[in-house]
Structures are given as C-alpha cells and as structure tokens.
Amino acid sequence: MSPELLKRSRQVIVIGLMMVALGYLSDRPTYRIMEPSQTELRLIIRHSGVLIGACEVKTPDELKSLAPNMRQPMTCPREKSPLSFELWVDGEILHQSVVKPSGIHDDGVLALYRSFRLAAGKKEIELKVKDQAELAEFNLRLKQTLDLSRDSVVLVELTDKGIQFSQPGSKSGA
C-alpha cells in the first residue's frame, strides 16, 4: 500500500469519526430550558423617570448677569428619582429592588430585566411601584390573577404608559 493511499484512508477514518460524533452531539444530550411543569415570568422595566425638583424661572436681573450664551429663561433639574418596586406572587415578595437612572448625572432611562421560574397554575401577581423617592407609599399598582400554563412566558412590563401583564392568548393591562 502506498504512503499516499494510507494517508488518505486515515483522513477518511478521522473525518468519518468526527462526523459521527458531531451527528450524535447535535441531537444528544437533550437540553431542556425549563422543567415541563414550570412557566417563566419576565419583569421588564423601561421608564423615563420623574425629575427631582421643579423648573426655576430666572428674573431679568439674573439673566443680565449671565453670559449671552447662558441666558435661558428657565433652569430645570436633570436628575431623576430612583424607582422602587416590589413584585409579589401569591402574597409573597418574589423580588424587590431600587432601579437607579442611567447616565452620568442620573438623568437617563431607568431600565431593568429579570427572569423568574414559577410553578404553572393559577397565580396572583402584583407589581407595586414608587417612581418618586419622596413618596411614602407605592403610587402605581397592578394586581391580576393569571392562569399560567406550563412551558409559557408571562411578561410584566412597566413603561411610561403604566404596568401591563401580557401572556400568550390574552390581553390585559392598566
């Protein structure tokens, strides 16, 4: 047998073994994202936030004392209040947190994403939100009972429009 033929036959054997291994590993072991009896709850927050403080109107004397390019009739704060929230499921706190505004001057969007696994079935879900730090109580709330089917995803979203629950096959919100 020539050395060239021996070299080629070894290559065919090695490539064949690699193809068999790749074929096996493309189907096995099976990967399960979540248990069949579970559902996923995703909390998504994307809120503009509430400015801390009120705009201040400058008097004509104050405007004159400023350089011409700095003469704005109103000065408004940039900093936004952090957002506090609690996510309740069946009367127990699942998650609570404070979301701080993004940006160097705390003037950006408040954003958060969290994912939780829950047992499927009827669940009472409540999101309580306080979007102004000086408030004593939560000023936004939505409580809803959902029938969570297995292998499904439920979204709890807080945007500038309010709180909304969404689940495949149903429409709800506040």
β-sheet bridge partners, residue 60? none
Is residue 85 located within the same domain as residue 25?
no
Judge whether 63 lies within some domain: no
Residue type at position 165: F
Instruction: With a cut of 70, say whether residue 158 has pLDDT above it.
Output: yes
Tokens of 106: 């705390």
Residue type at position 105: H
In this predicted structure, what is the pLDDT of residue 149? 83
Tokens of 173: 């919100």
Task: Decide: 128 and 140 in contact? Cβ < 8 Å.
Answer: yes
Report if pTM > 0.75. Answer: no
Provide the greatest CA pair distance for the chain: 103
Q: How many domains does the chain have?
A: 2
Judge whether 9 lies within some domain: yes
Is residue 42 located within the same domain as residue 12?
no
Judge whether 61 lies within some domain: no
Tens-digit pLDDT profile for residues 102-144: 988 888 999 999 999 999 889 999 999 998 888 889 999 999 9
Gap between the Cα atoms of 75 and 77, Å rounded: 7
